[in-house]
Copies of this chain bind each other. A is one copy, B any other.
């Protein structure tokens, strides 16, 4: 017998004679399901803390709550919270949607150009549906995957998503489950993959009823964001199942191509098998049974290659992980900032290092962390690492949420774009980056609990004390903060913004066309000169012609010696300072033949030039 794909068995399941309810509540002595427009039906204890029962009068669209002993609570596995986090759960028929993506097969890490977006501020509508009209433009830009910030139901309508409490219920104010399915379907038809950001390290502070059900949390470990989830303490088996089921749920019922696991350094698990490995293996197995690819990518602050090594190589077997050192290195080099974690970076050496190897801190002492940090990623393919020059955290977790364009101006933004898109890793863009959006992306919430609101305000202010960013933190609860963070696409009408857009489009076209730029194809050869302010990056691949990129971080045009391993005729493919991109123009047309190994070439101030060796094609 061939194994059948997994299906969700907890929660509300449509069956021939009504709806079967199944819940785990080991602390409850009695459990019932109370229909909003109907009766209360006792559920049967079937052992191991599970209660079950089939209710004839329930159907898709029925709103219900569970009653555990005397306490009425939303379903821990609610597929839809139409009235928000505290409201009733709604029975959803996951098979009702008519999918049109039957030919979609998923994506490979090496082909991913990820575009991170926040549903609420990405479009005027601020909904899943509001994203759809923009998909074609993203594909034309060269994006291959959108990454949606977390959508698990959170309190109110304004939130980054990391305060989600109903892990199975797509945010009601974004359009709920059906509209999310429509978005994923539309993306697939446009040829775009979809990464969903999911949070398995904590649960939001408001509307979190999991504690009523059972020991979902443990006090053995502390996370900065709230109680740690219980992955290895008493009764952890059902908690692990709850999380693994959640991963499989998104892949199965929503055709999600990859999960981005938030902050896995906050997932504490001392079991013989780490929950991360269980998640990755379960997702891979389910995808195989479904006949497509599904990936698991971790946001990790650990610089630990174990995350993406295979289990044979003692790893957790994730398909990818975020590697933030390139971001920090570029940001520190271009802004001169040295506060917070930027203390560990500065100058060009870290940028050059990060182009060579994903972890600048690979066992070195980190002054900011005050300890040795990381381990070398020796032997791990480059397509396992997701890099960026901006993301929601790096932008939003600044006091006033400034983007790189607002901080460092256009020419540096263009230089940063070239560093990102010529790097040998998987690039991630943060929405608006493609046209140098200068609106901030600030931290916003819309909690309902006044005490919590005040504590978030205070916490936010406190957080920025140690960055030295003073007290003028925007009010997270204010709708103005949310509004300021929306994209303003009318900027594209201005030449400088349109120029940046054209640069991203052309760099992404290069990435598609030049095989040497595909992550893993070429071994990067990097040189740099700290005092002259330049970096050279040569990419020689057996599968395409050699490329050479010259980065001039200096404020003046400069002769850069390009040491090539294969001299010959080099042709300029692109200069970030071209007039078409909003620059002053005038870059040399080609890299002169050095005769031997080193060619000296003029690179304009604060720009990057890319060359290809012609005679190889």
A interface size (C-beta, 8 A): 30
- A61-69, A279-287, A364-372, A566-574 - the one binding chain B: A364-372
Which residues of chain A from 190 to 221 have a CB within 8 Å of any chain B CB?
A: 219-221
Q: With A222-B219, A302-B270 given, is the CB distance from A235 to B265 under 8 Å?
A: no
Interface status of A475 (Cβ within 8 A of chain B): no
A371–B235 CB distance below 8 A: yes
Residues of B with C-beta under 8 A to A222: 219-221
Interface status of A289 (Cβ within 8 A of chain B): no
Residues of B with C-beta under 8 A to A237: 365, 371-372
Which residues of chain A from 227 to 278 have a CB within 8 Å of any chain B CB?
A: 232-237, 265, 268, 270-273
Bound Cα distance A81, B268 (Å):
38
Interface status of A108 (Cβ within 8 A of chain B): no
Q: With A265-B270, A302-B270, A314-B314 given, is the CB distance from A234 to B369 under 8 Å?
A: yes
Bound Cα distance A235, B302 (Å):
16
Which residues of chain A from 370 to 404 have a CB within 8 Å of any chain B CB?
A: 370-372, 374-375
Bound Cα distance A371, B271 (Å):
10
Interface status of A304 (Cβ within 8 A of chain B): yes
B272–A302 CB distance below 8 A: yes
A270–B273 CB distance below 8 A: no
Bound Cα distance A305, B271 (Å):
11
Bound Cα distance A365, B273 (Å):
14
A272–B370 CB distance below 8 A: no
Select the residue from A222, A235, A371 with max chain B CB neighbours within 10 A. A371
Bound Cα distance A302, B271 (Å):
8
- Least Cβ distance of A525 to chain B in Å? 27
Residues of B with C-beta under 8 A to A220: 221-222
B234–A375 CB distance below 8 A: no
Residues of B with C-beta under 8 A to A314: 314
Bound Cα distance A371, B233 (Å):
7
Bound Cα distance A265, B233 (Å):
12
Bound Cα distance A70, B5 (Å):
67
Residues of B with C-beta under 8 A to A371: 232-237
Interface status of A306 (Cβ within 8 A of chain B): yes
Q: A362's closest neighbor in chain B, by CB?
A: B272
Q: With A221-B220, A314-B314 given, is the CB distance from A306 to B235 under 8 Å?
A: no
B273–A375 CB distance below 8 A: yes
Q: A224's closest neighbor in chain B, by CB?
A: B220
Instruction: Give the number of copies in the complex.
Output: 2
Bound Cα distance A237, B306 (Å):
20
Q: With A220-B222, A222-B220 given, is the CB distance from A272 to B375 under 8 Å?
A: yes
Bound Cα distance A271, B273 (Å):
17
Bound Cα distance A18, B62 (Å):
85
Q: A233's closest neighbor in chain B, by CB?
A: B371
Residues of B with C-beta under 8 A to A219: 222
B272–A270 CB distance below 8 A: no
Residues of B with C-beta under 8 A to A233: 371
Bound Cα distance A221, B218 (Å):
11
Contact of A235 (CB < 8 Å), options: B235, B304, B370 = B370
Residues of B with C-beta under 8 A to A234: 369-371
Q: A269's closest neighbor in chain B, by CB?
A: B270
Residues of B with C-beta under 8 A to A375: 272-273
- Least Cβ distance of A445 to chain B in Å? 26
Q: A315's closest neighbor in chain B, by CB?
A: B314
Bound Cα distance A348, B588 (Å):
85
Which residues of chain A from 393 to 451 have a CB within 8 Å of any chain B CB?
A: none
Bound Cα distance A271, B305 (Å):
11
Bound Cα distance A390, B609 (Å):
73
B272–A304 CB distance below 8 A: yes
A 308-322 to B, binary, CB cutoff 8 A, 1 in contact else 0:
000000100000000
Q: A265's closest neighbor in chain B, by CB?
A: B270
Bound Cα distance A222, B220 (Å):
5
Residues of B with C-beta under 8 A to A370: 234-235
- Least Cβ distance of A321 to chain B in Å? 13
- Least Cβ distance of A295 to chain B in Å? 23
- Least Cβ distance of A350 to chain B in Å? 20
Bound Cα distance A375, B265 (Å):
23
A374–B270 CB distance below 8 A: no
B272–A374 CB distance below 8 A: yes
Q: A215's closest neighbor in chain B, by CB?
A: B370
Bound Cα distance A302, B273 (Å):
12
Bound Cα distance A237, B370 (Å):
8
Bound Cα distance A375, B237 (Å):
14
Residues of B with C-beta under 8 A to A236: 371-372
Question: Could you show 8 A-B contacts with beta carbons less than 8 Å apart?
Answer: A219-B222, A220-B222, A234-B371, A237-B365, A237-B371, A271-B372, A272-B303, A272-B375
7 cross-chain pairs, A with B, having the tightest CB-CB distances, nearest first: A272-B375, A314-B314, A234-B370, A272-B304, A235-B370, A236-B371, A220-B222
| Further 4 A-B residue pairs, CB within 8 A, beyond A234-B370, A237-B365, A237-B371 | A220-B221, A221-B221, A221-B222, A272-B374
Residue numbers of A with Cβ under 8 A of B are 219-222, 232-237, 265, 268, 270-273, 302-306, 314, 363, 365, 369-372, 374-375
